[in-house]
Amino acid sequence: MSKKSIVVVSVFALLLLCVVVGVVVGVRKAGEKKSKDGADATGQISMSSKAIRAVCEPTDYKETCVNSLKDSSAGNTSDPKELIRIGFQVSSTALKDAMNNLSLLKELAANDSRTSQALENCEDLMDSAIDDMENSFDKMGDYDLSKIGEYINELKIWLSGATTFEDSCLDEFENITNSEVGEKMKNILQASMELTSNGLAMVTGISSVFASFNISRKLLASDEYYSDRKGSFSDKNGYPSWVTSGRRKLLQATPATIKADAIVAQDGSGQFKTITDALNTVPKQNAKTFVIYIKSGVYHEIVNVTKKMKNVMFIGDGPTKTKITGNRNYVDGIQTMSTATVSALGANFMAKDIGFENSAGPIKHQAVALRVQSDKSVFYNCLMDGYQDTLYVHAHAQFYRDCTITGTIDFIFGDAAAIFQNCKMVIKKPLHNQKCIVTAQGRKYPREATGIVLQNCTITGDTDYWAVKNVNKAYLGRPWKKHSRTIIMQSQIDDVIQPEGWLPWDGDFALNTSYYAEYDNRGTGSMQTGRVTWKGIKKINAVQANSFTVAQFIKEDWIKPTAKNKMAFGSFHKVDDTKKKKITLISVGCLFLVAVVAALATGLRGGGGGDKEESGKVSTSSKAIKALCQPTDYEETCINSLKSANTSDPKELIRVGFQVAVNALKEAMNESSTLKELANYKDSRTSQALEDCKELMDSAIDDLQKSFNKLGKFDMSKLGDYVDELKIWLSGAITFEESCLDEFENITNNDAGEKMKKILQASRELTSNGLAMVSEMSSVLTSYYNINRKLLSHEYNSDQNEESSDQNEVVFADENGYPSWVSTGRRKLLAASPATIKPNAVVAKDGSGQFKTITDALNTVPKENNKTFVIYIKSGVYKETFNVTKKMTNVMFIGDGATKTKITGKKNYVDGTNTMRTATVSILGANFMAKDIGFENSAGAIKHQAVALRVQADKSVFYNCQMDGYQDTLYVHAHAQFYRDCTISGTIDFIFGDAAVVFQNCKMVVRKPLENQSCIVTAQGRNNSRSTTGIVLQNCTITGDPAYLPVKDVNKAYLGRPWKEYSRTIIMQSQIDDIIQPEGWLPWTGDFALNTLWYGEYGNRGAGAAKTGRVKWKGIKKVSAKQANSFTVAKFVKDDWIKLTGVPYSSSLIEV
């Protein structure tokens, strides 16, 4: 045997041994705790029951978990993998049941527009949740030990997405007058939400186990991952690893060098005159990138890249040349989610050189320019322009590079795992009494793998904002949900941001549970001295920050690094020969195996207890279930949901948990008796909330199902990837469940929200439990040895001395990177121009394309498209409000420039539309990409919530895009997201949601709000401490719009505020202008989430970056280089989904 082979064999053997030991120990531990309760007449307990209890151990709803598995096919297995898969299936079934029940809610729409919209949105959201759950189910079915890391990453993203969709459904009913509808919807979703939560808990538990060993996700990766560069946080020319080589090339190309599948031109020079027409040509379930070249022009369209429109890419002529614009808004009666000018739902969506706009204006409140739900979506050099809720990073993994997002209130929001890299967040002038908030992250559960990350971005103010920045104060973010997570690192924060930095949502909500962090930021607004001191404000170091980078947070496998990439972290010596490599592989494999076996064995023993059986025998399955449920928050729910599982296999138990969560969500959607009562409610808000809940529950089901499937395909060699995916999906599921409840927040009849909470209780507990289990798995892995995820990867290898100081080990800089999930093809598309791409559809208002509307183009996207479907949107203002549906996967928008190709809408909350529905564009389909596109919600500050873009798409990428709005401009709803070189403008919470999102090299522009408003850049909505979500700004610029500058001392601006309890936001290596108040962060309300949030600033520059005045909340973290590195693309959103797409990105910390 060769030396190299010996190393590989040794590592794998060790890995296997660890797993075996962990399972055995876990089963024993669970067995020792269980005795009397599980004894049968013969004193014997089925091994399946033991396994179910062990699998449910880490869940938050243990009873739901145990019961869901006990009553399912899981009762006949003790295989943890199968139990988890079954759990996913049960969750999916619960979501489908809930979704079916919502069909009766259509009766409410007759006289109540809000309620009708909410119901419709809920249907869509639940459908998305179902997708995520089924994806999780399938992933577990394909379980490959060698790919454990990839599996877990996917599962976490999908499960997080499912939770996000469920939550988003409930969010629909928040402001509806008849709150009783929301309450009943909550009841309908309760089971599915608990089950989805349980699934996420299970996957999180798995992730925690493996994370304790810090075993490489790319343990057996090929030589392409090696590098002769010394250990650092950086790499060169990187994306999330899920951005394939083809996608990277597309992102690097220009329209002239791309052969687009469709060309859109308003002047008739393309195949279509609308983007919608071009999208309509996308093959269903498209498997390759479908490029739509959108020529210069303003496209007045509402574009929806549906879930089935996968692998679509929009490429324009520049974010200011190709603009998709709409003006849907909440004030005019549209629910926030539906206000999106562009909605990207289909997986692997990409956009380059496109402008997304919602022109509703601040007076129209929520008006989303772009909503992204697309998993592994990429936006490169795009502009998201709006006011409130400009960019809705709804769910899944998303990546934004070199984009500009503008807005006023929560203009980047949502619950995706979204990273903005080198982006610019521009705060616009809000209404007179408004504050401005950049982000409003919507992570509800701590296990969700979601969050908004801004890395090397710039948070600044629009010209009009500077004059009012001291009146309409701006903040980095606020906690939309309990576990809101936003990280801003290595970014420029101008002095538009208030010294407090973060803003509370309401009282002390989420102040202790959110996670807001700033790391290594620069600029006047980055000063930490005045920052709020909530418990949730985290001081993170370089290592912690690194966990929010592309490679870690949204997983670097979508950003295939270049040959000269640097090590993400650590100080491993360079492996120069095959002998060392193989020896290491063998050793790590054996160690891993031993650790897992030992962990499970210990878990089962500890879970046993003192109850004795008559025969002294305890079911191995019951022990396994109890051990597995140990770390969950709803242990009883977990145990009950897995009781029927006749297996002790932790993997199967977790799968069963996922299935139970899915079933709970389906049941919530199917509760006909409850829904019949809802028919009496005629108010529009309630109707919209119900509709939105249906959509959100569907999305939550999707995430849970994906988690179930992911565990089914479990590959030990890809353990890290598996855990990361699972956490993202489970976090997404949690987000969707929470979003559903959010729908009822401002509805007059708040009884509806209470009933919806009851309906969703079971599914929420189960989903939380799922995340807890997966998180525990991850924790176990990371706690053993500090083994590099890229241990034997060439570009991450290091010859640096292991004893070197942290400062010496950390290299902040790299050039041109993406999350690894941006493939080579996607990168090429993002790098290309419309002239060099052959789009699948061309949209042009002038008739020079195939379509005149983006919606028409989207309708051509094949269902479940598995290749990039490029929609080129020519220059123009497209007054459209559309969704890139869940089935529109792998869609890419490319325009002629973020200010030339603009998608604009004006839906807003004030006019009667619930926030989620106000999005001009909603991106749901996984792997969405956008380049050179402008997303706008033109409702204006006076219309309050008005989302320009809502992003739920997992692994979505936005490059050189612009999101313009005021309040809630960008809704990073769920899953992994990445924004590069984008501009996001807004006033209040203009980047909000619960995605795992990284903004890189972006510009956040604070706009002038209403007279009495403060401005908040972010409002991260992480509501589960295990959620892998958060908002990360890296190397961005936070500045003020010129109109804002005169009022910056009146309308004060802040980096963010905790939308949810565990809100997490990190701003690092960015320019923070002096529009940001010294406090930096703003409370949401009272002391809510101040102790639980996680807010960090690291390596920032600019007048607003000074920390001396920062708030002193417990949640404000002092971030070290290592901590900041955890929030980079490679760490936070895992850059394997931006691999070789061509969109430049930084996978780690950068040199400033």
- Residue 523 sits in the same domain as residue 477: yes
- Residue 201 sits in the same domain as residue 250: no
Which residues are CB-neighbours of 758 under 8 A, at least 6 positions away? 183, 184, 186, 187, 190
Q: Are 789 and 389 in contact (CB under 8 A)?
A: no
DSSP 463-492: EEEEEEEEEEEEEEEEEEEBT-BEEE-SB-
DSSP 737-760: HHHHHHTTTT-B-THHHHHHHHHH
Structure-token pair, residue 764:
């929420």
- Residue 632 sits in the same domain as residue 686: yes
Instruction: Categorise residue 662: left if φ over 0, alpha if ψ from -120 to 50, beta otherwise.
Output: alpha
Among candidate residues 779, 796, 811, the one where a domain is terminated: 779
Which residues are CB-neighbours of 680 under 8 A, at least 6 positions away? none
Place of tokens 């980096």: 1055
- pLDDT of 34 reads 40
Q: Cα(907)–Cα(338) distance, rounded to whole angstroms?
A: 7
- pLDDT of 730 reads 80
- Residue 250 sits in the same domain as residue 344: yes
Among candidate residues 779, 797, 827, the one where a domain is terminated: 779
- pLDDT of 146 reads 53
Q: Are 271 and 841 in contact (CB under 8 A)?
A: yes
From 112, 410, 506, 1073, the catalytic residue: 410
Q: Cα(783)–Cα(605) distance, rounded to whole angstroms?
A: 20
Domain presence at residue 1087: yes
- Residue 647 sits in the same domain as residue 746: yes
Q: Which alpha helices (DSSP H) does 743-814 contain, by range?
A: 751-784, 806-809
Domain presence at residue 589: no
Residue 108's domain comprises 47-213+622-779
- Residue 206 sits in the same domain as residue 252: no
- Residue 540 sits in the same domain as residue 439: yes
Domain presence at residue 1084: yes
- pLDDT of 4 reads 38
The 10s digit of each residue's pLDDT in 1017-1054 is: 999 999 889 888 999 999 888 899 888 999 999 999 99
Q: Are 871 and 264 in contact (CB under 8 A)?
A: yes
- Residue 1056 sits in the same domain as residue 1127: yes
Distance of CA 810 to the CA centre of its chain: 27
* Strand 901-907 with 934-937, pairing: parallel
Domain presence at residue 294: no
What's the structural domain count of the chain?
2
- pLDDT of 143 reads 57
Domain presence at residue 272: no
557 is catalytic: no
Structure-token pair, residue 340:
């999106």
- Residue 700 sits in the same domain as residue 824: no
The 10s digit of each residue's pLDDT in 852-871 is: 999 999 999 887 778 889 98
Domain presence at residue 610: no
Compute how many other C-beta atoms are within 10 angstroms of the C-beta atom of residue 896.
39
Domain presence at residue 467: yes
410 is catalytic: yes
Domain presence at residue 790: no
Give the chain's residues under pLDDT 70. Answer: 1-46, 72-75, 103-110, 140-151, 178-179, 206-239, 554-619, 671-682, 711-722, 749-750, 777-821, 1133-1142, 1151-1152
- Identity (one letter) of the amino acid at 787? I
- pLDDT of 960 reads 87
C-alpha distance from residue 491 to each of 281, 820, 991 (Å): 40, 21, 15
Buried b (16+ CB within 10 A) or exposed e, 817-842: bbbbbbbbbbbbbbbbbbbbbbbbbb
Residue 893 half-sphere exposure toward CB, CA atoms < 13 A: 72
- pLDDT of 936 reads 93
- Residue 198 sits in the same domain as residue 241: no
From 506, 557, 703, 989, the catalytic residue: 989
- Residue 940 sits in the same domain as residue 827: yes
Strands (E), 965-1070: 970-972, 975-986, 991-994, 996-1006, 1015-1018, 1027-1028, 1030-1060, 1064-1068
Closest by CA to 998, choosing from 1041, 951, 964, 1045, is 951
Alpha-carbon Rg of the chain, whole angstroms? 24
- pLDDT of 555 reads 64
- Residue 689 sits in the same domain as residue 834: no
